[in-house]
A and B are shown apart, each in its own frame.
Chain A
Amino acid sequence: MDRDHFEVLGLARAYHVDAADMEARYLALQKETHPDRFAKALPRERMDAVVRNTELNDAYKVLKHDIKRAEYLLKLEGIDLGEEKPQPTTGATKQLVVDAKLLMEVMELREALAEARSDKDEPKVEALTEDVQVRRARALQIVDEGFTAYEKGDKSKLDAIARALVSLRYYARFMEEVEGKE
């Protein structure tokens, strides 16, 4: 009975989506399922509405976000990147092993950042930031192209997408560090 997020919003499984169309569907479904519409209904009807509306909110939260949507698509295809933090579960799904090359790359970048910071070398920090932005754009392109193939029925690039998505997480954390986390 559990529907996937795409089904909830009445969309085909795809990375490339029309954001305006998705928002319009979301708002139309909100008007159908929001608990406010059932304020005078019987308790069990209200409960049903809450369940449907929660399902809608959870679906939209994931699908409206490019990277979360990409990760979710992979999950539907059996590649679970897991949550960003370790889970208190004994998960049975396949965990992706982060390859050593990426770890080295990111470690070096972060060391360079820490060094530039302690030297108060602002131009160096900026250069590093730009460098990561370029890498980020490259990874996003892999995701984009991989899913273009996927949408035509070619699933051969899913592993490459997965690796790109993992690297994007590391780049995002790097950027957070640059901006200074709250």
Chain B
Amino acid sequence: MADALYDIAEPGESKAKEACAGRAVGIDLGTTNSLVAAVRDASPVSLPDAEGRMLLPSAVRYRADGAPIVGREALAAAALYPHDTIVSVKRFMGRGPKDAETTRRFTPYRFVEGDGPVVKFAVAGPREVTPMEVSAEILRALKVRAEVALGGPLEGAVITVPAYFDDAQRQATRDAGRIAGLEVLRLLNEPTAAALAYGLDKKSEGMFAVYDLGGGTFDISILKLTGGVFEVKSTGGDTALGGDDFDRALAELIVAKTGGDAATMSASAQRALLDQARAIKHQLTTEETVLLDTRPESGSVTRAEFEAAILPIVARTAAACKRAMKDAGIDRGQLDGVILVGGATRVPAVRAFVEELFGHEPLADIDPDQVVALGAAVQADLLAGGGPREDVLLLDVIPLSLGLELMGGVVEKIIPRNSTIPTGAKQTFTTYADKQTGFDLHVVQGERETVNECRSLARFQLKGIPPMAAGMARLEVTFLVDADGILRVMAREQTTGQESSVEVKPSYGLTEEQIEQMLFDSYEYAEEDLTARLLAEARVEAERILAALAGALVSDGRLLSAEERTAIEGTMAGLAEAVKAGDHHAIRKRTSELDLQTKPFAERRMNEGINRAIGGHQVDEIGDRVEHAKGTAAHEGPGGGH
């Protein structure tokens, strides 16, 4: 029981004491796979699931009843439930129903018709879910995994995003984190995360390019590493280009070879075709030819054919790379190295292309699937766990210029791309009509000169300007981009000093109320989450005790009579069964029974004084844990609240 005494804090200022190191994780929320990592014993490690697997397929299947299924199981049934299984949801983050992504071929989803700012999938239940909610399910699964591995609730998470994500996509990711009940410590750009993992590992110095081709996004970042400072010089990319596109290109090749027609395929057939294409792509990394079927006469795909099919896609990355080097003010001769990130860089043709483009043999010795999460874990540790380390600092940039719409649909750039963040800018506006009391502003993001070719972020209405003659009022509008790369806008009327009210209408995002509602909806599973965690913790504890006890029986079993031994083994079997059955109350109960029963055994082992250093310590630990467990069980008695 916490004995701490509290004072009532000022609004927003409740906090844990600094001395309390927290559990913070890095999460790579990927298009194809997601994973979670944490710093343990000073180095970052990926946290596996109960079966020891690191990668969680970014697939969520909604069911008519019960909580959604996330990961491998969802993916395996994707072809059976093509409408209810959302894969590659990242491609829909921060996107609207009219965006190109929702109208692509091989997209077996049912979208909710309407003009709302956010794409919605119609899934089993029936219910309508946004990409943020789908992503939140993935995050929640990783959160539970991390809580089990780290032995308690998380203090917070650093979630990675493609460097080239625009404001709407970043907002969507942060909102997904909030819906999942995570404290989002920072959104970190994926290439920067990778550089952090590499740079710390190798203590590198110099100028590096990070070429990150993931399942659905492409990023290029140029970084300068000096004395622990990771300074991003420039970044570029394409948020709708990745390994998924290789699958589509290959799927089209297969359709052409087998004489099918993509347009008339059922959703299930499309999903199955994409799955097949992905499997063939993986095989072609090491093989020259892959049969389309087990029968030789059904045809085959060669690596050369595959490479020809994906070449136009890979070639699209070159322009972004060249521009990034130009923006950084360097040519390829000044690069000290190139780092490969993302599963799609396993394709040999991609590696060859990168080597040709930069004139450097790329580095890929940290698993390209894990390197981003590992880097994010380091950043999370810096922010929460280990506290700031004097020698490491990340300086990142905003990937796309932020601007305002002027008369005639022309864009005025307010903050240019590749500005180091956080950054700000002020603009002064004036009224154009007498007694005008309001002002409309349209904020856009992109490099083009006209509004229609940029991404609309939000519309702001400034109200409550005191009536004055035209041109007299002076409105100062302040743009602030925070360290997550997310924009905030404030406005003030200068002649009167009156703060104008700013009404935000995000073009593609969720309103505060919608997030609140989604958070509330997620409470539906809060008890389920709690139960799952209690169960997982009880299991881990029980398994540790069973393993320790089994070891003790082998080494010191002679200290027990045959009768005692049989009794203990019976209780152990009972506990093992309870672990299997999955009721945490029962596990706790049997754990404490086992504790009582083995007390004399523990004492005898202690008295023997044999293996005091190792054996005795273990028994001590068992005793402690069981005490602990008992304490909890007592609380869960009649007065308990679970």
Contact = CB atoms under 8 A, between A and B. Distances in A.
A35 B412 contact: no
B41 interface: no
B382 interface: yes
A29 to B, nearest CB: 11
B285 interface: no
A39 B430 contact: no
B390 interface: yes
A88 B405 CA distance: 11
A36 B382 contact: yes
B427 interface: yes
A106 B284 CA distance: 57
B384 interface: yes
A42 B15 contact: yes
B388 A37 contact: yes
Contacts of A30: 229, 393, 395
A42 B13 contact: yes
Contact of B429 (A37, A43, A53, A88): A88
Label chain A's interface by main secondary structure.
Answer: helix
B185 A54 contact: no
Interface stretch (A56-64, A127-135, A136-144, A149-157): A56-64
Interface in A38-77: 39-40, 42-43, 50, 53-54, 57-58, 60-61
B424 interface: yes
Interface string A80-111: 00000101111000000000000000000000
A85 B226 CA distance: 36
Given A30-B393, A31-B390, A54-B480, A39 B384 contact: yes
A12 interface: no
A35 B387 CA distance: 13
A34 B395 contact: yes
B345 to A, nearest CB: 26
Contact of B427 (A42, A43, A89): A89
B18 A43 contact: no
A36 B429 contact: no
B35 to A, nearest CB: 23
A122 interface: no
Interface string A17-43: 000000000010011001111011011
B12 A43 contact: yes
A30 B232 CA distance: 13
A182 interface: yes
Contacts of B419: 57, 61
Given A30-B395, A50-B482, A54-B480, A89 B387 contact: no
Contacts of B423: 54, 57-58, 61
Q: Interface extent on A, as a size class?
A: 20 to 34
A112 B480 CA distance: 43
A50 B12 contact: no
A169 to B, nearest CB: 16
B110 interface: no
A116 B20 CA distance: 71
B427 A35 contact: no
Interface string B224-239: 0011010100000000
A89 B429 contact: yes
Contacts of A39: 185-186, 382-384, 388
A35 B422 CA distance: 8
B393 A36 contact: yes
Contacts of B406: 88
Contacts of B185: 39
A60 B383 CA distance: 25
B553 to A, nearest CB: 46
Given A36-B382, A54-B480, A60 B420 contact: yes
A41 B185 CA distance: 13
A57 B482 contact: no
Contacts of A85: 412
Contact of A57 (B226, B404, B420, B427): B420
A89 B414 CA distance: 13
A34 B394 CA distance: 9
Nearest to B406: A88
A87 B414 CA distance: 11
B313 interface: no
A88 B408 CA distance: 13
Nearest to B185: A39
Interface in B370-424: 379, 382-384, 387-388, 390, 393-395, 404, 406, 412, 419-424
A30 B420 CA distance: 11
B13 A89 contact: no
Contacts of B15: 40, 42
A1 to B, nearest CB: 15
A37 to B, nearest CB: 5
Nearest to B474: A90
Contact of B422 (A31, A37, A43, A54): A54
A85 B403 CA distance: 13
A36 B422 contact: no
Contacts of B283: none
A3 to B, nearest CB: 14
Nearest to B394: A36
B272 interface: no
Contact of B424 (A27, A43, A54): A54
Contact of B393 (A34, A43, A88): A34
Given A30-B393, A90-B430, 8 more contacts: A35-B422, A36-B379, A36-B382, A53-B422, A57-B420, A88-B404, A89-B429, A90-B471
12 contacts: A30-B395, A31-B393, A34-B483, A35-B482, A36-B186, A36-B382, A36-B393, A54-B423, A57-B420, A57-B421, A61-B423, A90-B474
Q: Which 5 A-B pairs have the closest CB atoms?
A: A39-B383, A89-B428, A57-B420, A35-B483, A54-B424
Interface of B: 12-13, 15, 18, 185-186, 226-227, 229, 231, 323, 379, 382-384, 387-388, 390, 393-395, 404, 406, 412, 419-424, 427-430, 447, 471, 474, 480, 482-483
